[in-house]
Structure 1
Amino acid sequence: MQSGAAGFAVFAAGGLNAQANFTGVSGSAAEGSELLAAIARLNELGPLLPPDENGVRLPAGFRSRIVARSGQAPSNNSRVVWHPAPDGGAVFASADGGWVYASNSELRNAQGGVRALRFDSSGTVVDCYSILENTTSNCAGGATPWGTWLSCEEHEQGLVFECDPQQAGNGAARPLLGRFEHEAVAVDLINDQLYLTEDQRDGGFYRFTATRGLPDLSAGQLEIASVVQRGERHIVEWLPVPDPLASTTATRYQVAGSHAFRGGEGIAFHDGTIYFTTKRDNRVWSYHIASSELSIIYDIDTSDDPLLAGVDNVTVTPRGDVLVAEDGGDMQLVVLAPSQDGEQFDVIPLLQVVGHEASEITGPAFDPSYTRLYFSSQRGAEGSNEFGVTFEISKA
Structure 2
Amino acid sequence: MRRRNFLRAATIGVGVAAFGNTLTPSAMAAPAQNGPSPYGPLQPADGNGIRLPDGFTSRVIARSGERVAGYTWHEAPDGGAVFADGSGWIYVSNSEVYFGGGAGAVRFDASGNITGAYRILNGTRVNCAGGAMPWNTWLSCEEIDRGYVYETDPWGPASAAVRRPAMGRFKHEAAAADPVRKVVYMTEDVSDGRFYRFIPDTWGDLSAGTLQVLVADGGTSGGFGWATVPDPDGSPTATRHQVPGSKSFDGGEGLHYANDTAWFTTKGDNRVWQLDLAGGTYELAYDDSLVDPGSPPLSGVDNVTGSGFGDLYVAEDGGNMEICVITPDDIVAPFLRVTGQGSSEITGPAFTPAGDRLYFSSQRGTSGSSSGGITYEVTGPFRT
Q: TM-score range by the shorter chain?
A: 0.7 to 0.9
Deviations 1:158-200 (A, max 9, x none): 1111111012223101111100000000110111111100000
- Code of the aligned partner of 1:66: V
Pair 1:379 & 2:364 matched: yes
Q: Which position in structure 2 is the counterpart of 1:22?
A: none
Distance 1:371 1:286 in 2: 25
Is contact 1:142–1:185 with CA below 8 Å preserved after alignment? yes
* CA shift digits 1:307-349 (9 cap, x unpaired): 100000011223322211000011001111122xxxxx11111
Shift in Å at residue 386 of structure 1? 0.2
Query: Which residue is equivalent to 2:169?
Result: 179
Q: 1:129 aligns with which of 97, 110, 118?
A: 118
| SS at structure 2 position matched to 1:252 | helix
Does 2:284 correspond to 1:296? Answer: yes
Superposition pairs for residues 265-280 of structure 1, below 5 Å?
A: 265-280=253-268
Identity of aligned residues (%): 51
Secondary structure, counterpart of 2:290 in structure 1: coil
In structure 2, how many angstroms separate the alpha carbons of the residues matched to 1:132 and 1:44? 38
Q: Quick one: structure 1 residues 272 and 53, their matched pair in 2 at CA, closer, same or farther if it must change by over 3 Å?
A: same
Cross-structure match for 2:148: 159
Q: Give runs of aligned pairs for residues 240-251 of structure 1, distance below 5 A.
A: 240-251=228-239
| CA displacement at 1:90 relative to structure 2 | 0.7
TM-score using structure 1 length = 0.84
1:285-316 Cα offsets, whole Å, 9 max, x none, are 00111221110111111111511000000112
Instruction: Look up the match of 1:65.
Output: 59
1:197-246, CA deviations, whole angstroms, 9 ceiling, x for partnerless residues?
0000000110111232x21112211111111269x951112111001011
Q: Which residue does 1:395 correspond to in 2?
A: 380
- Structure 2 equivalent of residue 257 of structure 1: 245
1:82 aligns with 2:67: no
The one-letter amino acid paired with 1:151 is S
CA shift at 1:121, angstroms?
2.3
Which residue of 1 is the match for residue 96 of structure 2? 106
One-letter amino acid of the counterpart of residue 277, structure 1: T
**1:330-387 per-position Cα deviation (integer Å, ceiling 9, x unaligned):** 1001111122xxxxx1111111100110101111112222222111000001110000
Q: Distance in 2 between matches of 1:150 and 1:51?
A: 34
Residue 129 of structure 1: how far off its partner (Å): 0.6
1:219 alignment partner, SS class: strand
**1:313 paired to 2:313:** no
State the distance in 2 between where 1:377 and 1:94 align.
25
How is 1:1-150 mapped onto 2 (pairs within 5 angstroms)?
A: 43-75=37-69, 78=70, 80-95=71-86, 97-109=87-99, 111-150=100-139
| 1:62 shift after superposition | 1.3
The CA distance in 2 between the partners of 1:353 and 1:44, in whole Å, is: 19
Aligned to 1:203, the other structure's residue is in SS state coil
- Residues 73 and 128 of structure 1 are in contact (CA less than 8 Å); yes or no, is this contact kept in structure 2? no
Match in the other structure for 1:350: 335
Q: Take 1:275 and 1:147, find their aligned partners in 2: how far apart are those partners?
A: 21
Gaps (5+ residues) in structure 2?
Answer: 1-6, 8-35
2:315 to 318, 322, 325: 325
Question: What is the SS of the residue equivalent to 1:112?
Answer: coil
In the aligned structure 1, how far is the partner of 2:288 from the partner of 2:343? 21
* Count of residue pairs the alignment pairs up: 344
CA offset at residue 152 of structure 1?
Answer: 0.7
Q: Structure 2 counterpart of 1:326, which letter?
A: E
- Amino acid aligned to 1:286: Q
Task: Report the equivalent of 1:8.
Answer: none
TM-score if structure 2 supplies the norm length? 0.86
Letter of the structure 2 residue corresponding to residue 143 of structure 1? A
Q: Give the distance between the partners of 1:168 and 1:379, measured in 2 at CA.
A: 26
